[in-house]
Chain A
Amino acid sequence: MPILELTNLIKDFGGLRALDNVNLSVEKGEIFGLIGPNGSGKTTLLNVITGFLPPTAGDVLYKGQSIAGLKPFQIAKEKLIRTFQITSVFTNLTVEENILHASHLKTNSTIWGSLFTTPGYRREERQLQERVTELLAFTGLEDKRNSSAANLGAGEQRDLEMAVALAADPEMMLLDEPAAGMTAEEQAKLMRLIETVRDRGITVMVIEHNMKVIMGICTRIMCLNFGAKIAEGSAEEIASNEAVISAYLGGKRGA
């Protein structure tokens, strides 16, 4: 059974068809790439999957269950976690606080627990601290623990964004242009990080413009153009696909 399945997904904005009958299935343990020219509907697709936009027609199945129409936080509770195109971290908080706040789904202490600092609450706080340490080591941010997120470099903020998403304990992650604005060195680090995430058993779907990143890590790639799927396959198949090349280089539509 695929972990994520889209069936005849349509999204209209007024008269504009942003997603045109998209069918897709992502298998557990894959790194799935989503490419397409600007305005081809990649982010819209991600927004529909994660509940930020309701689909006009069609269905989104996650682990065999329909999640279309659920709110973003409900979908996050199903352990389907996204990141944003514009780097989104809690800018006014420190790196450590970012991860503490993102661990919401992993905590269950009550208000009474924290009012009276019960043993249960203290235990959970200790576990959270360990979790922060582990996630910071994983994303290479150990020495930034007490820095304000606003003072991190662009690449480090991307790393923190990954740590925040991982703190929500995903089974599947949807990454929206994680390599945007990264240096070649940071991109290489990101690719290793995404592969390590996959090795932890987390399925990854990644939107990216950077072909080196996409071709380097993805098991399968789908290309969107004007909201419709124009190609799907392995990196080699996509790289040599006529429709993909003309979509990117501006050939005739549908050529």
Chain B
Amino acid sequence: MTTTNAKYLGLVAALAVAIIAPFLLTSDYDREILVLICIFAIAGLSLDIIMGHMGQFSFGHAAVFGVGAYTSAILSLRYGVPVWWGILAAIAVTLLAGFILGYVALRRTREFELAIITFALGAIVLSVAQAWHSLTGGMTGLHRVPAPPFDISAGGLELRSEFAFYWLALAVLIITIYAIHRFTNSRIGRAVRSIRENEDLASSIGVSPTYYYVIAFTVATGLGGLAGALYGHHLGFVNAGMLRLNIMVIMLMIVLVGGSGSLGGPVLGSAIYWLVSEQLRALGEEYRFLIFGGILLASIIFLPRGVFPSLASTASWLFEGTADRPSGWSRFVAQRSWLGLFVLKR
């Protein structure tokens, strides 16, 4: 079996799990977790455009997520705008915000300075959301945010709403993954990667660093806003807590534990986060974050590239043997599993 075949097999398996899962889970509460996995996978993928593809960091991504949620919630709740248009408006607003921020910040700043600028902007958005009571509902936030109206009935098949939101989130996730995959092999994707790899060399072969970084940053924020809008409509409420750093930390964890710079990483990271989070629900917030801190630390020490890339390189090592030997922990695991026994015998 070649690596490419293994890749397709993995993709088909993941898709099969995603399609079967809602039928196996009987309670609406469990299906809700599936929706959250999809939404945070989209958010993680959007943050990873900045982290993995651009090699930069934005602390303002939770704010972008929150702005998306607020925009769609405010429009649908206060102005009676249809939910679908609210979601589109959330994308538009966050695209615009991302463009302005990117254009201002990315002309001069990179890495650490960019992290600080985006951190400051995130703090401003939080203060505004708390203070502008008439628009955002202040600390209590907005409640009874309407869910998207699902009246999909095709070929006699009527979708019930708790299912329907999952299909919506899953569809958006799949489109996102496909779009980012194509983006990687596009002229823009290559330009962005060349800037990440060596900015001076990239400009000396005609790539404008500001132009392409602003494009990538804008796309990332628009996608983050979309995820935020879906989150607001899914939960049914929006409050300033979404703008706080804990959402940022969750997104960061999803990207780092799952694996930055890969498509599967944030998706797997999101699944790991929500499944572990559910197991720990009884423990209370403080202990949960303590345990997540431990998981993050362990993954940085043992799987510095993240879970998904380590799994992928272990898989290609197992199936083909020609790829680079996986290092450290993933090899340790491979050698001690039944698959590992097969490898050791060769």
Contacts and interface: CB of A to CB of B under 8 A. Distances in A.
B204 A104 contact: no
A111 B193 contact: no
Interface of B: 179, 182-183, 185-191, 193-194, 197-198, 200-209
Among A74, A84, A92, A104, which residue has the most Cβ atoms of chain B within 10 A?
Answer: A104
A73 B186 contact: no
B200 A93 contact: no
The 5 closest A-B pairs by CB, nearest first: A114-B186, A76-B206, A72-B203, A168-B205, A105-B206
A90 interface: yes
Interface string A82-113: 11100011111100000011101101111101
A164 to B, nearest CB: 7
Contact of A90 (B183, B188, B198): B198
B201 A73 contact: no
Given A73-B209, A104-B206, 12 more contacts: A52-B200, A72-B200, A88-B204, A101-B197, A108-B187, A109-B186, A109-B187, A111-B186, A114-B186, A164-B201, A165-B205, A168-B205
Given A81-B204, A92-B197, A104 B186 contact: no
B204 A115 contact: no
Nearest to A91: B197
Contact of A105 (B185, B197, B198, B205): B205
A72 B206 CA distance: 7
A123 interface: no
A50 to B, nearest CB: 7
B187 A76 contact: no
B205 to A, nearest CB: 4
A90 B205 contact: no
A88 B206 contact: no
Nearest to A88: B201
Interface in A155-212: 164-165, 167-168
B190 A101 contact: yes
A77 interface: yes
Contacts of A126: none
A114 B207 CA distance: 18
A50 B182 CA distance: 33
A82 B204 contact: yes
A72 B187 CA distance: 19
30 contacts: A72-B204, A73-B203, A73-B207, A73-B208, A76-B204, A76-B206, A81-B204, A81-B205, A82-B204, A83-B204, A84-B200, A88-B200, A88-B201, A89-B198, A90-B197, A93-B193, A101-B190, A101-B197, A104-B190, A104-B191, A105-B205, A108-B187, A109-B187, A111-B186, A114-B185, A114-B187, A115-B183, A117-B182, A167-B205, A168-B205
Among B185, B190, B194, B201, which residue has the most Cβ atoms of chain A within 10 A?
Answer: B201
B183 A114 contact: yes
A92 B194 CA distance: 10
A167 B208 CA distance: 16
Contact of A111 (B183, B202, B205): B183
Contacts of A63: none
B206 A77 contact: yes
Contacts of B188: 111
A89 B201 contact: yes
Among B182, B187, B198, which residue has the most Cβ atoms of chain A within 10 A?
Answer: B187
